[in-house]
Amino acid sequence: MVETQTENLFDRRIDRREVPALKVHPMVLGQDGENLFAAGVADMDFMAPPVVLEALQQRLAHGIFGYEAVPAGLMPALTAWLQSRHSWQVDPAHILRAPNVLNSLAIAASLFTEPGDGVIVQSPVFFDFYDILRENNRELVLNPLILNDGRYEMDFDGLERLAAEPRTRMIYLCNPHNPVGRVWTKAELQQLGEICARYNVLVVSDEIHGDVTFSGHRYTPFAALGPAYADNSIICLSPAKSFNIAACCSAFTVIANVARRKAFQVENSRLTVNKNNAFSSAAMVAAYSRGGEWLDDALSYIEGNLALVRTHLENIPNVKLIEPDGTFLLWLDFRALGLSPSDLTAFLRQRAGWAVTRGQAFGVEGEGFARLNIACTRATLSDALQQLSNAITEHSNTQKTGVPQ
């Protein structure tokens, strides 16, 4: 069979070590991790869309990189993308620029809660949520997800109890959810929104993975549920995950409530979070206006990688896939191996050659799990899965005989 251009594009192995990529850097892999399967940091091993590369080259060719205003085409490109891709009509006046999503999360906590106030997180969840709240002296209020027959669900009864506490002021929502891969349904988001509105709990939603959803699932922006939901929310967006441009893009904060938006604008000014990067702007305009076809192809390729993982795990005992609705991050259940969290990390690293994100980094509910990034070439993933299979077989034989094989 003749390979298509798309297959060639995503099958191409690129040495990430040619630049100081975090995924393969010694600060992540360790000094002895050069030969590990680097699948921890949440970016893709794919080149950015050709339209983005072309836009960056054109901007470079201009040769002058002085101070710049926001390009006239950026907000129209973003709002058109949100409308066409997700049926979300956003007033451009509601959108503020931000350096990154984490910056918006931190500012929201700082502005709209006080030290000691409670902020709900639905663990296991993105580890930076914990760091932001601790560093801002906010109280972590845990509302763990429920793993029910291989699928995570929200604990709405627990959420209501926690939201009713007078010191609980905010919830960090992860939509879609990192690391468990849930793309929350409209009904689930409505129920969460109704509880939060009832108890005056502000919803701050990290929706950076919103574009990365699989067939049969649809991302619903929380604020798109209706005016009341939008008024009680702050939505954090970025094209970083969608187009693999985390190192050359910024983010957006959508705030419908006038008073909160003004407060955010004042804080952005105070912190001078209002400068523009010429390359970031060029990359984002190109991605949002002309990157849709590339994203569709990338999602198709990633779904193919997901199918490969499913097939391999059918023949690998004691490892279960938590079936994802979206994101390019898989949540794998290794609890049946009977290893402690530290022993599991050592096993994956030393026996399987895997450098993935430890499950306990996402909270105690993640112990016995690991997060796997599958946005890599299929050949790389296939080799890694074979390494895991060999390691599990060796481990099983050792458990039976007591003698290392």
Query: Pick from 286, 252, 337: which is nearest to 54 by CA?
Result: 286
145, 173 contact by CB (below 8 A): no
**CB 104: neighbour CB atoms within 10 A?**
28
Q: Which residues pair with 204 in a beta bridge?
A: 172, 234
Full-model pTM? 0.95
Tell me whether residue 61 is in a domain: no
- The span from the CA of 200 to the CA of 171, in Å, is 11
206 contacts: CB under 8 Å, gap ≥ 6: 101, 105, 126, 129, 172, 173, 174, 175, 178, 236
Nearest one of 368, 384, 387 to 376, comparing CA atoms: 384
Considering the domain architecture, whether residues 258 and 350 belong to the same structural domain is answered as: no
Q: Residue 349 domain-assigned?
A: yes
| Claim to verify: residue 163 and residue 282 sit in the same structural domain | yes
Task: Give the residue with greater pLDDT, 75 vs 402.
Answer: 75
Residue 401 has pLDDT above 80, yes or no: no
Q: How far apart are CA 229 and CA 330, in angstroms?
A: 29
Task: Answer for the pair 14, 45: CB distance below 8 angstroms, yes or no.
Answer: yes
Q: Is the peptide bond before 176 cis (omega within 30 degrees of 0)?
A: yes
Lowest-confidence segment of 11-15, 156-160, 338-342, 392-396 by average pLDDT: 392-396
Q: Is the pLDDT of residue 1 over 60?
A: no
Q: Which residues have a Cβ under 8 Å from the Cβ of 10 and sit 6 or more positions away? A: 46, 297, 298, 301, 377, 378
401 in a structural domain: no
Instruction: Indicate if 272 and 310 belong to the same structural domain.
Output: no
Q: Which pLDDT does position 4 carry in this prediction?
A: 46
Categorize the per-residue pLDDT at 397 as very low, low, confident or very high, splitting at 50, 70 and 90. confident
pLDDT recorded at residue 200:
98
Domain membership flag for residue 60 = no
Structure confidence by residue, pLDDT tens digits, 277-287 = 999 999 999 99
pLDDT in tens, 140-156: 999 999 999 999 999 99
- Greatest alpha-carbon pair distance for the chain in Å reads 69
Same domain, 14 and 101: no
pLDDT, residue 88, reads: 98
Closest CA to 363 of 176, 111, 134: 134
276-333: per-residue pLDDT in tens?
899 999 999 999 999 999 999 999 999 999 999 999 999 999 999 999 999 999 999 9
Q: pLDDT tens digits for 152-183?
A: 999 999 999 999 999 999 999 999 999 999 99
Residue 111 pLDDT > 70, yes or no? yes
CA distance 387 to 45: 19
Do residues 284 and 315 both lie within one domain?
A: no
Domain boundary among 290, 320, 343: 290
Collapsing DSSP states into helix, strand and coil, what is residue 230? Answer: helix
290, 309, 338 - which closes a domain: 290
Does 42 share its domain with 12?
yes
| pLDDT on residue 6 | 52
Residues 275 and 306 in one domain: no
Within-domain flag for 56: no
Alpha helices in 314-377 (DSSP H): 341-350
Q: Are 363 and 142 in contact (CB under 8 A)?
A: yes
Give the CATH number of the domain where residue 264 resides: 3.40.640.10
Q: Is residue 15 part of a domain?
A: yes
Mean of the per-residue pLDDT values of the chain: 95
Q: What is the pLDDT of residue 224?
A: 98
Q: Which of 314, 285, 301 is nearest to 380 (CA)?
A: 301
Q: Do residue 210 and residue 169 come from a single domain?
A: yes
Q: Are 219 and 186 in contact (CB under 8 A)?
A: no
pLDDT at 250 over 50: yes
Q: Inform me whether the pLDDT recorded for 402 exceeds 90.
A: no
| SS percent in the chain: helix, strand, coil, step 5 | 50, 15, 35
Same-domain pairing of 324 and 269: no
* 185 inside domain: yes
Does 405 score more than 70 pLDDT?
A: no
Whether 219 and 322 map to the same domain: the answer is no
Inter-CA distances, 184 with 143, 147, 230, Å: 16, 14, 17
According to the model, what pLDDT value does residue 274 have? 74
> In terms of domains, do 219 and 248 share one?
yes
Among residues 241, 258, 290, the one where a domain terminates is 290
Identify whether residues 97 and 17 lie together within a single domain: no
Range of the domain at 44: 5-49+292-394
CATH number, domain at 308? 3.90.1150.10
Question: What domain count does the chain have?
Answer: 2
Q: Is residue 399 part of a domain?
A: no
